[in-house]
Amino acid sequence: MIALDVIIAKDVNEMSMTAARIMADLVRKKPNCVLGLATGSTPIPMYKELIRLHKEEGLDLSRVRSFNLDEYYPIDPTHNQSYRYFMDHHLFDHINIKKENTRVPDGRTKDIAAHCASYEAQIKEAGGIDIQILGIGSNGHIGFNEPGSAIYSRTRLVVLTERTIQDNSRFFDSMDEVPRFAITMGIGTILASRHSILLANGKYKAEAVAKLAEGPVTSQCPASALQLQEKATIIVDEEAGSKLERKDYYNHVRALMSQLQK
Chain residues binding ligand GLP by CB under 6 A are: 38-42, 69-70, 135-137, 143-144, 164, 168
Q: How far is the CB of 31 from ligand GLP (least distance, A)?
A: 26
Active-site annotation holder among 139, 145, 168, 201: 139
Q: Can 252 be counted among the known catalytic residues?
A: no
Neighbours of 76 (CB within 10 A): 11
* Nearer of residues 73 and 144 to ligand GLP, judged by Cβ: 144
Q: Can 5 be counted among the known catalytic residues?
A: no
Q: Can 146 be counted among the known catalytic residues?
A: yes
Backbone angles phi, psi at 30, to 5 degrees: -135, 85
Distance CA 101, CA 227 (A): 30
Active-site annotation holder among 106, 146, 167, 237: 146
Active-site annotation holder among 70, 120, 167, 237: 70
Cβ atoms of 83 and 104 closer than 8 Å: yes
Q: How far is the CB of 261 from ligand GLP (least distance, A)?
A: 30
Residue at shortest CB range from ligand GLP = 135
Active-site annotation holder among 54, 90, 115, 141: 141
Strands (E) in 146-200, as ranges, are 156-159, 181-184, 196-200
* Nearer of residues 242 and 253 to ligand GLP, judged by Cβ: 242
Distance CA 33, CA 10 (A): 29
Looking at 58-205, list the stretches that DSSP marks H as alpha helix, in order from N- to C-terminal side: 83-90, 112-125, 162-168, 187-191
Cβ atoms of 227 and 198 closer than 8 Å: no
Q: How far is the CB of 40 from ligand GLP (least distance, A)?
A: 3
Q: Can 25 be counted among the known catalytic residues?
A: no
* Nearer of residues 171 and 249 to ligand GLP, judged by Cβ: 171
* Nearer of residues 120 and 167 to ligand GLP, judged by Cβ: 167
Q: How far is the CB of 209 from ligand GLP (least distance, A)?
A: 12
Q: Residue 42: which H helix or E strand, with range?
A: none
The DSSP output letter for 242 is T
| Active site residue ranges | 70, 139, 141, 146
